[in-house]
Amino acid sequence: MLFNSLGFIVFLLVVMFFYYMPLPWANKKRMLLLASYIFYGLWNPPLVILLWISTVVDWIAGNKLHASTNKANRKMWLLLSILVNMGFLVFFKYGGFLIENFQMLTGLLGFEFQLLEMDIILPMGISFYTFQTMSYSIDMYNGKIKPANTFLDFALYVTFFPQLVAGPIVRSEDLVPQFYEPKRAASRQFTWGLFLLTLGLFEKVVLADVLLSTTSDDVFNTASVVNPLDAWTGTLAFSGQIFFDFAGYSTCAIGIALMLGFVLPDNFKYPYAAIGFSDLWQRWHISLSSWLRDYLYVPLGGNKNGIARTYVNLMLTMLLGGLWHGAGWTFIFWGLLHGLYLIIERLLKQKISIKINGWNGILLALGTYTLVNITWVFFRATTFENATNMLSAMLFINTAGEKVLWSGTIIKVFSVVSIMFLCHWFMRNTSVKEVAGKTPKWLLGVVWAAMFILLVIAQGSGEQFIYFQF
């Protein structure tokens, strides 16, 4: 079920009706759990079984890890949890990719090897909920947390519908304890949650889908090379589209949770105002970058085993981060570029000391944003040929490409992206809530009404959120 659909609005109203009825807290949690299964199952009902299996396996493994003191047994239960979760992820998300590359490799070696084609359905949001449940088992193994009080609390943690499909990826210590006591949003909290839901839908429907997505599609779906201005316009359009699409989903999720009385962590902090790539990954998809840091980079050794090993760990982390996003070599190369950027940044910081002030700060942020756009080419392109065609135009290697955009579209995209970048810069050390708190209520009401009117006018085409495919 999509947040940007009338069906979801009806679904949310029904959930709110039952949630705020005078029912026992345990019954309200059961209702939320059922609603979460309905929310997910309406897309493809049989795949709810995967959620059930992950929930049961990780609940049992977590309890065994907490109760056992035998090192071998504890490793066995952790391994079981990881194998089940990663097994699902590898089969459903990477099965076709692995088969395709295995057949290509055997062909290069002179062997004819043809497997039956498998039409594997990618379960929506599988990368998110598998990482979330794995973090529970790993934290239990490391003694960082205690088991959830009841199976109901844990099952709701796994399937809580606002963030089930595209995050934020929430740690158990941040969400599970919130299920222990009855929650009821205060009027101010409910209003703020409703505002965030409106803002998130505005970002998705109006900014991402209506203003930017068509331009991005027109440029990246062109078979031939496009001219440099169109190439940059299409890439900038995608950089805005993916931010408004994904940040829009996270904003909706946080807002819906607030309307129920729950608090989810921020997932974006004005990432296009980042000065350098270590700063970027503290601002973009924060729940994933912190997951990769805590459960991959640090266990690999982090920066504790010398410079060379640090660079290897950084590169492995970003390569796997790229692979997490999609089963394709373009995603892996996207991760490779981010790994190289992080390594080069560390090398430069060892040689050069730069004092950040207002003017050089915005120039460094603009430079970072430009390099980010180079990586977005590989993230958006479906093939390396498509990506190299785009880059040859953007770097003015090929200037005789096809013109696919009219001037009004180019002006629109540059206007939207410029405003987005400036908003990120001037709000980089604040939050939406802080800005809203300093804004006169009448002006905030006007902004809210304007967003709502534009949502009604735009309506949208009910396009799926980009990160649902991950």
Give the catalytic positions in this structure: 325
Indicate left, alpha or beta for 349 from its phi (over 0: left) and psi (-120 to 50: alpha). alpha
Is residue 234 packed enough to be buried (19+ CB in 10 Å), middle (13-18) or exposed (0-12)? buried
The single-letter DSSP state of residue 233 is H
CB atoms within 10 A of CB 76: 15
Between CA 290 and CA 283 the distance in angstroms is: 10
**Contact criterion met (CB below 8 Å) for 88 and 126:** yes
d(CA 81, CA 63): 12
Phi and psi for 402 in degrees, rounded to 5?
Answer: -75, 145
- Answer yes or no: are the C-beta atoms of 322 and 331 closer than 8 Å: yes
DSSP H helices, 326-429, are: 329-351, 358-380, 384-394, 407-426
Tokens 């939320």 sit on residue: 32
Separation of alpha carbons 272 and 281, rounded Å: 11
> CB 301: neighbour CB atoms within 10 A?
13
Q: End-to-end distance of the chain based on CA atoms, in angstroms?
A: 16
Contact 399, 227 (CB under 8 A): yes
460's torsion region: left (phi>0), alpha (psi -120 to 50) or beta?
left
d(CA 68, CA 76) in angstroms, rounded, equals 11
Cβ within 8 Å of residue 400, ≥6 positions away: 225, 227
Q: Three-state DSSP class for 39?
A: helix
Tell which residue, 185, 163, 166, has the closest CA to residue 174.
Answer: 163
Half-sphere exposure in the Cβ direction for 89 (13 Å, CA): 23
Let me know if 454 is exposed, middle or buried by CB neighbors in 10 A (0-12, 13-18, 19+).
Answer: middle
Beta bridge partners of 402: 226
Q: Which two tokens stand for residue 341?
A: 């950027």
For residue 356, CA distances in Å to 280, 353, 359, 370, 428 come to: 16, 10, 8, 18, 14
How large is the C-alpha radius of gyration of the chain? Answer: 23
Instruction: Give Cβ neighbours of residue 436 (< 8 Å, ≥ 6 apart).
Output: 192, 195, 444
